[in-house]
């Protein structure tokens, strides 16, 4: 198989992670969840009782942590924090961490290093626009905020969190706004990305849509 780089961007709950992970699995290539990296920094800051909006604190944390990512796990300084980074508290604070220029510079550096020269599916907010601007395929997944909140609700309920839909719609709208309006690498569709509205699509349909667009020379 020829080397292939696939960028999948979109807002919270658009289905990026599930789709990206499965595509990487089927193509047998590396999957990198960049959101997990911003979440890991957020978790460390919060677990130290510090503010996610203090750039000095963020710099200290980013300079000190040793991060390791596998398709299903995130380790920081050797500790598996994969579940801890998905709590509502981390979700509510992560967009503040992700708007910090120093944090972004360091995370993007690490993302490029991990991808290196190998085939990869990366998902996030700025993959097609900044991290892999020369990616062979770029997809931008969207869905209505109500549908995205419903997906997040069932995901959280499986983990034992019972959160009202209204609260989640509100949280998703707030995060979309912060992610889209920040100065550094805002969430936006790259000019050459294919937009996929997943509101009425199943995960399998989205995966099929993406795989159909990947030229046979890469498969």
DSSP annotation of 131 reads: I
Q: Is residue 142 within the footprint of ligand CDP (CB under 6 A)?
A: no
Contact present, 21 and 148 (Cβ < 8 Å)? no
Interatomic CA distance for residues 110 and 116, integer angstroms: 10
Contact present, 111 and 176 (Cβ < 8 Å)? no
3-state SS, 48-79, equals CCCCCCCHHHHHHHHHHCCEEEECCEEEECCE
Q: Which of 31, 38, 137, 139 binds ligand CDP (CB under 6 A)?
A: 38
Using the contact rule CB under 6 A, the part of the chain among 28-36, 51-59, 73-81, 198-206 near ligand CDP is 28-36
Select 60 or 87, whichever has its Cβ closest to ligand CDP: 87
Contact present, 126 and 9 (Cβ < 8 Å)? yes
**176 CB contacts (<8 Å, ≥6 apart)?**
11, 12, 145, 187
Q: Is residue 31 within the footprint of ligand CDP (CB under 6 A)?
A: no
Q: Is residue 100 within the footprint of ligand CDP (CB under 6 A)?
A: no
Q: Is residue 94 within the footprint of ligand CDP (CB under 6 A)?
A: yes
Least distance from ligand CDP to the Cβ atom of residue 175, Å: 5
Q: Is residue 175 within the footprint of ligand CDP (CB under 6 A)?
A: yes
Q: Is residue 186 within the footprint of ligand CDP (CB under 6 A)?
A: no
The distance in angstroms from the start CA to the end CA of the chain is 6
Cα–Cα nearest to 121, from 211, 186, 183, 185:
211
Least distance from ligand CDP to the Cβ atom of residue 1, Å: 25
How many residues of this chain interact with ligand CDP, rule: CB under 6 A?
A: 16
Q: Which two tokens stand for residue 61?
A: 């944390």
Q: Which of 84, 98, 115, 168 binds ligand CDP (CB under 6 A)?
A: 98
**152 CB contacts (<8 Å, ≥6 apart)?**
12, 13, 168, 172
Select 21 or 39, whichever has its Cβ closest to ligand CDP: 39
Least distance from ligand CDP to the Cβ atom of residue 216, Å: 29
Q: Is residue 139 within the footprint of ligand CDP (CB under 6 A)?
A: no
Q: Is residue 106 within the footprint of ligand CDP (CB under 6 A)?
A: no
Which stretches of the chain bind ligand CDP, using CB under 6 A?
A: 12, 17, 34-36, 38-39, 94-95, 98, 124-127, 175, 179
């Amino acid at each position: 198989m020829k080397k292939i780089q696939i960028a999948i961007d979109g807002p919270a709950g658009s289905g990026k992670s599930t789709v990206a992970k499965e595509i990487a699995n089927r193509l047998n290539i590396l999957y990198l969840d960049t959101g997990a990296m911003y979440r890991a920094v957020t978790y460390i800051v919060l677990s130290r009782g510090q503010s996610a909006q203090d750039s000095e604190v963020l710099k200290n944390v980013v300079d000190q942590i040793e991060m390791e990512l596998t398709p299903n796990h995130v380790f920081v300084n050797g500790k598996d924090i994969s579940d801890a980074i998905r709590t509502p508290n981390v979700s509510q604070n992560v967009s503040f961490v992700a708007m910090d220029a120093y944090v972004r510079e360091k995370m993007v550096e690490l993302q490029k290093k991990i991808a290196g020269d190998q085939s990869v599916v990366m998902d996030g907010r700025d993959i097609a626009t900044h991290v892999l601007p020369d990616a062979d395929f770029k997809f931008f997944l969207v869905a209505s905020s109500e549908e995205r909140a419903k997906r997040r609700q069932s995901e959280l309920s499986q983990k034992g969190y019972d959160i009202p839909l209204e609260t989640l719609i509100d949280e998703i709208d707030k995060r979309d706004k912060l992610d889209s309006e920040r100065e550094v690498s805002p969430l936006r569709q790259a000019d050459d990305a294919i937009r996929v509205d997943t509101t009425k699509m199943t995960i399998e349909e989205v995966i099929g849509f993406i795989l159909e667009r990947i030229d046979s020379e890469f498969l």
